[in-house]
Amino acid sequence: MTNELVQLTACEAVQKLKAGDVSPLELIDAAEARIAATDGAVNAMPTQCFERARERATTLMNSSSDGAQGPGWLAGLPIAIKDLMPVAGVRTTYGSPIFADNIPQKSDVLVDRLERQGAVVIGKTNTPEFGAGANTFNEVFGATRNPWNTDKTCAGSSGGAAVAVATGQAWLAHGSDLGGSLRTPASFCGITGLRPSPGRVPRSSLAMPFSSLAVDGPMGRDTADVALFLDAMAGLESADPLSYPAPALSYTEAVRNPDLPLRIAYSPDLGLCPVDPEVASICADAAQKFVDMGATVVEASPAFTGAQEAFHILRAAQFAADKGGLLDKHRDLVKPDLVWNIEKGRALTSEEIGHAEISRGQLYRRVVRFFEDYDLLICPTAIVPPFDVETRYIEEAGGVKFDNYMDWLTITYALTLTGCPIVSSPAGLTASGLPVGVQLVAPPRREDVALAAATLLEKAVGLTAQLPIDPRPPA
């Protein structure tokens, strides 16, 4: 029975919860057994809180037994929260030895919102230190491994979240994304992840709540699960100054009968970076599947002039403001990549920061004009397939050398600047059996368009049917 429950999608599990065919406690038991069976191989969820989960599940069950309305969108479904977001009473380390013993007394407003919608938090997923970097490892918990091949990385920074979903440890996992931190792990682990528009998903624990570079979003095995999770997340919360009300039509409904985007642009590289030939071929085939459905697909892209420089400046300025104090107090405990980022930010001039903001605004206006002619933009999620877990980051691709740990992520972070909603959807497998994903970019605040396209693509690709998977050692 435990294995049967783990095999359910989140939508199927919620249906059974609402019908009374299964209880939240039974799902918690199934998740705990699955984590015990798989986490030794992948290290996705190092912090678990099953006693807290069972207390909350019992409270939900008791409140429903008196004839009250069932709890929200998730109805008692166990979920995982990334270890960058505070959960009251649960160890929250941010992947940093500075906070190795930190237990927050208050949850982020997003966690409170999800719990009101019937979510039951069962654990915290692993992340690189303060979410910086696209390989999930840190000095507190070590490295998280890719379940498709445990010698490979799951990417980052939402690596633990992606692995937890792919292996069936959790039906849904919360992630976050600044430069690709949600999208790249989704691609590397063969799951679906959504970077929503800024403000779509509220949060309250950021030191800089008006910043729109980083967002939180849903990760699931398929698009319907991601839509369900987004319905539970989205909405106005006064604690988040960027948040706004959820749409009148739910995302669950939007993917039930998805509309085909008829005018699609495909770019193999956004004109920015080299792409591994096998990855490029898989992503081109994914774009062709929309042609087979009846859409028109042409090779086109907005101009991303100045995007790399603007992103590096804005990200460095944010890290300097947010984490500079920690560097002053705990320099010996901060990883070198973060030291570089913070010091780069501190060296910036107001003129440089202002120019980057203007450049970002110009890019946004070009993107808005672009979407007057196209309904969707498709491009690869990552420029390479999953690589060795011991490699910190990709230093060279296609003869191009990268001089920092971020630039192999240009194809995701350039799109961060647009503020557009983006789904990373499975596109296929390499010859060695490693997942590859594509980014489906929709016009601003049109998450429904991106999710509808992902629904159609996943049916054509069929990769989600293989999930959840048992961790696979290298051949």
Catalytic residues: 82, 157, 181
Interatomic CA distance for residues 421 and 443, integer angstroms: 7
Q: How far apart are CA 269 and CA 271, in angstroms?
A: 5
Burial of 328 (0-12, 13-18, 19+ CB in 10 A): exposed
Strands 422-429 and 192-195: antiparallel
User: What gap in Å lies between CA 455 and CA 143, rounded to an integer?
Assistant: 32
CA end-to-end distance (rounded Å), the chain: 30
The residue behind tokens 């199927």 is 12
Q: What is the residue-wise DSSP string for 343-411?
A: HHHHT--HHHHHHHHHHHHHHHHHHHHHTTT-SEEEEES-SS---BTT--S--EETTEEPSSSSGGGHH
3-state secondary structure at position 437 = strand
> Does residue 61 contact residue 24 with C-beta atoms inside 8 Å?
yes
Write the DSSP string, 134-191: SS-EETTTEE-B-TT-TTBB--SSSHHHHHHHHTTS-SEEEEEESSSTTHHHHHHHT-
Report helix, strand or coil for 133. Answer: coil
Q: How many C-beta atoms lie closer than 10 Å to residue 105's C-beta? A: 7
Query: What one-character DSSP code corresponds to residue 236?
Result: -
Residue tagged 């085909």 (tokens) = 260
Residues 190-228 as b/e (b if ≥16 CB within 10 A, e otherwise) read bbbbbbbbbbbbbbbbbeeeebebbbbbbbbbbbbbbbb
Long-range contacts of residues 61-65, Cβ cutoff 8 Å, at least 24 apart: 61/23, 61/24, 61/25
Cα 336 from Cα 121, distance rounded (Å): 32
Q: What is the distance, to the nearest Å, from the Cα of residue 189 to the centroid of all Cα atoms in its chain? A: 11
What is the C-alpha separation between 196 and 186, in angstroms, rounded?
14
